[in-house]
Chains A and B, each alone.
Chain A
Amino acid sequence: MKHVDNESSSGELLHTKHAFPPNNLGYCGPDTRGRILEHLHDHATDESLLSILTRFEAAYPFVKMIAKSTGRKPFDYEVAEAYWIGNPLLDSVKPVEFYEFTHRGLNVKLPKKDAKLLFKQLGAVAKPHHTFYVMGMYSRPAATSANREKLLQLMDSCRISWGRVVEVKEKELVVERSPLTFKKSEEEHLLLSKPVRTKVAYDQEIAPFNSISTGDWVSLHWNFASEKLTSRQVRNLRAYTLGDIKATNLFMDLLTRTKSQL
């Protein structure tokens, strides 16, 4: 294993930290959570970790597409950061490439030409950002209005969010975090609500959480603190998340309009 001294040089570890929580819950990727955790505890990468990361069914195709579109490698730090947290690299991915990548997975039940037109209208608003992918769940037609809260909880847990640490416990952090909510209008648009205090799990053996303290900002995935964020990363995560919400609301409006015209 290759120990990583310089965090900023390791896109592999940044990627692993964010891929680990859902893998640990058995939601995606190969059943190798023990080996992934070993790498995170050792703060080290090797070929076996890379092999594991390429077997994540959604995350890997996304970073591969971003890398291909921007002339980089899938686990370059900038690529992993773009996908999970967000950075201007996302703006370099051509909308047509993003469309070609996603159109088979669009669950919109429209003729291909209509789906293409719809995606064209989303244009530069939709980014290959993890949160935008997660919010695609919102377009599922069979989710009943009575259970929209459950859908909201799922999307809120699965997106990468951010929180400011207000208390450090042995196995938990208390953070201030803005949950996802609905605007109770006719269209039920998504938005972020005011920050609320919530408890999240963390692992002191995963660097840099052995030195986490109040006032720090962390990224969160499935109620687990994945990474300590710089102020630049917090700004980017917030900006790209708001962009994802705007794109999702626009997508739902366009979808409704397109369907009504068919």
Chain B
Amino acid sequence: MCVTRVGKILSITGTMAKVEFLDDKVTRDIDVSMIEGIKENSFVEVFADSALTRLTAKEALWRKKLWLEMRSKMN
């Protein structure tokens, strides 16, 4: 099972982007081919190794908060 996470685009090469996850600051190479007109510093919702949706900064922070809340309940 996978979960969706929120990340910020650091750089883009073709259809791949280096994304930094907001919750743990880890970076990972992500396929951004499903999102049109993606730019550096955009926030995206990531599933597995692909970006699904572009998010506003507000949405991204809200999702990060949800994620951290969920993590804290599990620990």
Q: Which residues of A contact B (CB under 8 A)?
A: 18-19, 22, 25-28, 54-62, 104-105, 107, 130, 133-134, 137, 140-144, 147, 150-151, 154, 157-158
Q: Decide: A144 and B35 in contact? CB cutoff 8 A.
A: yes
Let me know if B33 and A22 touch, CB within 8 A: no
Q: Cβ of B31: which chain A residues have Cβ within 8 Å of it?
A: 150
Q: Which of B2, B45, B49 has the most CB of A within 10 A?
A: B2
Are A57 and B48 within 8 A (Cβ)? no
CB within 8 A of A150: which of B2, B33, B45? B33
**CB atoms of B3 and A140 under 8 A apart:** no
Does A59 lie within 8 Å of B54, measured CB to CB? Answer: no
Q: Which residues of A contact B71 (CB under 8 A)?
A: 57
- Give the B interface residue count (CB, 8 A): 23
Whether A61 and B70, one on each chain, are in contact in the complex, defined by CB atoms closer than 8 angstroms, is yes
Residues A140 and B1 in contact, CB atoms below 8 Å apart: no
Chain A interface main SS type: helix
Alpha-carbon gap, A140 to B74, bound state (A)? 27
Query: Contacts A22-B48, A25-B48: A133 and B34 contacting too (C-beta < 8 A)?
Result: no
Q: Which residues of chain A are within 8 angstroms of B27 by Cβ–Cβ distance?
A: none
B residues apposed to A, CB below 8 Å:
1-3, 28, 31, 33-36, 45, 47-50, 52-54, 66-67, 70-71, 74-75
Picked from B1, B3, B47, B66, the residue with its CB within 8 Å of the CB of A104 is B66
Nearest first, the 3 closest Cβ-Cβ pairs linking A and B are A147-B34, A142-B53, A59-B1
Which chain A positions have C-beta within 8 A of B1?
18-19, 22, 28, 56, 58-59, 62, 130, 133-134, 158
Q: Are A140 and B45 in contact (CB under 8 A)?
A: yes
**Chain A residues whose CB sits within 8 angstroms of the CB of B47 once the complex forms:** 137, 154, 158
Residues of chain A within 8 A (CB-CB) of B2 are 22, 27-28, 58, 134, 158
